[in-house]
Structure 1
Amino acid sequence: MGLLIQAAIVDLDGTMVDTLGDFEIALNCTMADLDLPPITRALVERTVGKGSEHLIRSVLAHQLAQPEANVSPCVTADTLYEPAWLRYQHHYLRCNGQHSDVYPGVVEGLQTLQGAGIRLACLTNKPLSFAQPLLQAKGLAGFFDHVFGGDSFERKKPDPLPILKTCEALGTTVGNTLMVGDSSNDAQAAHAAACPVVLVTYGYNHGRPIQETPAAAWLDSLAQLPTWLQAGR
């Protein structure tokens, strides 16, 4: 294919699978356990993508600031984090994949890339214990030689380390490996690693238009990726 791409590293949430429903259910159950007001889907969309710790701390801080949150002044996002994380894990594992859908064009795009000899890895900030069952449930696991989560390495995206480590696992050079994601988080990691990056337009980008983020291309479907690569653009 064009650009001498040997492998592709593909993000999960917002890139391959629309998981907002799973996040919304798990977080709202967690908030109910902590006697905090329910969250909105819009809040999830703005805060998801930087790992579970960031998500939970952001949601807790937001909910504690709501007028209907009747809590003691000594209760903070920090003091609630550990119980929230435990309850969130419980709820997320129970609903993982039940309220999410594979985006149109994902399977077609992955099939074409795999058929062309492009090696594939999934790299997400989602905990590995969440990511692997989700890929299995959605019929996507068989496409990937490796799956790495937000707890697989010492640091998460947007740090470049996860991309560098994934390239090591794939046995490919960074310059010949394509990062495919949906947010500035993915792009920042790729740019820092000197890895080419393509972004999809339909995912979650912290409430900002994805076209604001520099990338080699912005695609409306993963099914467009093989054609874009073949053209060598």
Structure 2
Amino acid sequence: MFFDIQAVIIDLDGTMLDTAPDFLLAINRMRADLALAPISLDMIKIMVGKGSEHLIRQVLALDFDAEQSRAYFAMAIESYQRHYLDINGDQATLYPDVIAGLEAMSAQGLRLACVTNKPIAFAVPLMQKKGLSVYFEVIFGGDSFPRKKPDPLPLLEVCHLFNLAPEQIVAIGDSSNDAQAARAAGCPVLTVPYGYNHGEAIQNIQSDGIVETLLEAAQLFAAKKRTH
């Protein structure tokens, strides 16, 4: 495995950037608009990763029953998106060795794609703000296709775009969403231990290995090439 890797698909939230503080700020401003009390960062970390709609539904479910949540949903997501666009990236920070990892992968000639469940209107300016977008040939958001991770569709679209077989593209992420999407697409998958993963232990994910950083992943690919 990893001998003939030609490209890498990398997740964004929880993999390259710690964006939970951004989510916290936008969510609590939205909650204030609805006259609801603020919630904690730990609560947010368990909820993120499956797209904005899922996040807002989970947040509303803290205070409302299913019928009330449906009634408030449109107002809540409009408020959240407005606040998020206003603060996007202000509190987010790069995880260690992300840039070094991307530099090392690029130096190996690997093609890079970012596939995130974050809406594309949030993902692109955030990646530009943090100096990430220059490394990526393509960026796909949670609304780029009819289905998002854990569905394999976004990863298969990258395979098609790059004209590569799934086994030639490794996916790297922090959650079961990434692993399930990669498995279904036929791509090998590595996980990082520092992200969100919906409050579950990263060791419980069926991946092909855990790498401490993106730089460690790049070093793994380089070592495999040398020994092949």
Same fold (TM over 0.5): yes
Q: Tell which deviates more after alignment, 36-45 or 202-211.
A: 36-45
Partners in 2 of 1:144 and 1:105 — Cα distance? 16
Determine if the alignment matches structure 1 residue 219 to structure 2 residue 211.
Answer: yes
Deviations 1:45-66 (A, max 9, x none): 111000000000011101337x
**Hey, what does 2:16 align to over in structure 1?**
16
**Hey, what does 1:55 align to over in structure 2?**
55
Offset, 1:26: 0.2
Gaps of 5+ in 1: 66-73
Offset, 1:216: 1.1
**Hey, what does 2:181 align to over in structure 1?**
189
Partners in 1 of 2:209 and 2:63 — Cα distance? 36
**Hey, what does 1:161 align to over in structure 2?**
153
Partners in 2 of 1:166 and 1:109 — Cα distance? 20
Deviations 1:104-125 (A, max 9, x none): 1100000010011000000000
Partner of residue 109 from structure 1, selected from 97, 101, 107: 101
**Hey, what does 1:134 align to over in structure 2?**
126
Partners in 2 of 1:126 and 1:97 — Cα distance? 13
Partners in 2 of 1:85 and 1:171 — Cα distance? 37
Runs of 4+ in 1 over 3 A off after TM superposition: none
Offset, 1:231: 2.8
**Hey, what does 1:123 align to over in structure 2?**
115
Deviations 1:161-209 (A, max 9, x none): 1110122122221110010100011000111111100000100111111
Gaps of 5+ in 2: none
* Preserved CA contact (<8 Å) 1:2 1:230: no
* Preserved CA contact (<8 Å) 1:18 1:100: yes
Determine if the alignment matches structure 1 residue 231 to structure 2 residue 218.
Answer: no
Deviations 1:88-146 (A, max 9, x none): 11000000000010111100000010011000000000000000000000001100000
Deviations 1:7-60 (A, max 9, x none): 000000000000001000000000000111211111111110000000000111
Secondary structure of 1:64's partner? coil
The aligned amino acid for 2:39 is I
CA root-mean-square deviation: 1.6
Deviations 1:54-88 (A, max 9, x none): 000011101337xxxxxxxx961111110011111
Partners in 1 of 2:55 and 2:163 — Cα distance? 32
Partner of residue 203 from structure 1, selected from 178, 195, 204: 195
* Preserved CA contact (<8 Å) 1:146 1:169: no
**Hey, what does 1:41 align to over in structure 2?**
41
* Preserved CA contact (<8 Å) 1:197 1:216: yes
Identity of aligned residues (%): 48
Q: CA, structure 1 residues 75+160, in 2 after alignment: closer, same or farther (shift >3 Å)?
A: closer
Secondary structure of 2:206's partner? coil
